[in-house]
Structure 1
Amino acid sequence: MSRTEQVLTPMFVDDAGTGIVIAGLRRYNLFTAAFFLGRHARLIAELAHVSGAGTGHDVLDIGCGPGKLVRALGALVGREGTAVGVDPASSAVDYNRRRDHFPNHRYEQATAQALTVPDTSFDVVTCTFVMHHIPEQHRSTAIEEMWRVLRPGGRLLLADADPSDRMRSALTRIRRLTRRGEEPVDPFADVDIRRYAETVRAVGFDEPEFVRSKYSTGILLAVKPADSAV
């Protein structure tokens, strides 16, 4: 488990071979409300907008958790489009199937590195606060899967925590006090979404763009070239 998981996410469990999965959606919702200072709904709206999803699009959210981004994307694509959420945790899939009754929304159990959806079936793929949960040896495969399921011209959005310098400093001080004798480290260093830019390029996407949200989040955007064979 990474330093970030140890410090920030007691509501996750490590499932060997799959990665970190949500152990309790209620605790996860409380955590996101606290971490984003009550502005999580605004962040979700921003991510949906920045993704480029629009009327009639088919969109996929990987690691959908409680499904908030799926529903925000679904509102943008409307009845003419579809919004699909996948998550490795059966509890998340069951939770969303019980609560989301839009006919063009659906939820499936799958990991990012082994998606069960067909090739070139989506216009937009999002994967937020998930990449650092995936076992490191499977992260490149996960991005290859995102490429596989996107249509030519489709858009990819990856996002993860990118807190302010003040928050980083505060957490580093806390670690220094609680872990005396250890070198102070940035507990968010392993979630910097820019670390995947090279892999995104190598898979075949156009040059990715990094956007820093005011809601303590880093966003990496990339487009699959329109002339891609797959």
Structure 2
Amino acid sequence: MSRNIQLFPVTVSDDNGLLITSPRRYNALTAVLFGGRHRRLLSELVAVGGAVPGDRVLDIGSGPGKLAAALAAAVGPDGSVLGIDASRAMVDYARVHAAAGNTGFEVGAAQSLPVPDAEFDVVTCTFVMHHVAAERRADALAEMYRVLRPGGRLLLADAHPTGLMRAVADVMGRVSRARNGSEKAAAQRDPFLDVDIRRYADTLVGVGFQTPEFRASRYGAGILTARKPR
């Protein structure tokens, strides 16, 4: 079952959580939140994720494909990037606008990735976890572990909000939490809990990852990295 939320271009799905259904409006929102810093943030995410020439990379919740494009440049022609997104609209948009021949996009959910075991050197999942239904987030992290090769690297990122980004994150968090309770109950909780990426550190260790490391980006993101043991 799904329903439209008019304050933001999303559909709420009981199976997949929040699906962004308007790539162009999403791009406009990103421009407002990050301004000229977005390209620098993408470069930082690629560097921190550790993608190098020849790597196979999976970008979960790839949206309009901007991070996938930056990753594709980093891995070069001998590497590859696969973007997975639960929104058909996002996948269609990313396919049309993909510039690199080593990049592909498929429809799929973070909690049931349509890829084989131990397939990737790097997995990225940015500004996505709060969109996944709360009861399926541990499943999504377990899937990330499954598809990484031994020694592979995971990067999770979400808003580390200040200023306008903090206000927008508050709205998005309230929409996400309202799925599981009343608006009144949602309002009584920490409005930024769902976008604090550090909340997944213990779960990552529980599914098998080594102890994660957290860093706060100067560009408004919190970044959590972890490695699958060899």
TM tier relative to shorter chain: 0.7 to 0.9
| Paired position in structure 2 for 1:216 | 220
1:7-156 to 2 correspondence within 5 Å?
A: 10-156=8-154
Q: Alignment identity in percent?
A: 52
Contact 1:208 1:220 in 2 (8 A): yes
1:184-199 to 2 correspondence within 5 Å?
A: 186-199=190-203
Unaligned runs of 5+ in 1: 1-5, 173-178
| Paired position in structure 1 for 2:210 | 206
Q: CA deviation at 1:185?
A: 6.3
Classify the secondary structure of the residue corresponding to 1:199. Answer: helix
1:61 maps to a residue whose letter is: D
Cα deviations by residue, 1:29-79 (Å, 9 ceiling, x for unpaired): 111111123311111111011100001000000000000000100000000
TM-score relative to the length of structure 2: 0.85
Classify the secondary structure of the residue corresponding to 1:39. Answer: helix
Classify the secondary structure of the residue corresponding to 1:132. Answer: helix
| Paired position in structure 1 for 2:176 | none
> Please, what is the CA RMSD of the aligned residues?
2.5
Classify the secondary structure of the residue corresponding to 1:225. Answer: coil
1:219 maps to a residue whose letter is: I
Classify the secondary structure of the residue corresponding to 1:220. Answer: strand
Q: Mark the structure with the bigger radius of gyration.
A: 1
How many angstroms apart in 2 are the aligned matches of 1:167 and 1:108? Answer: 29
User: How many correspondences in the alignment?
Assistant: 213
Quick check: 187-196 or 109-118, which moved more? 187-196
TM-score relative to the length of structure 1: 0.85
Q: Which runs of 4+ in 1 moved over 2 A?
A: 164-172, 182-189
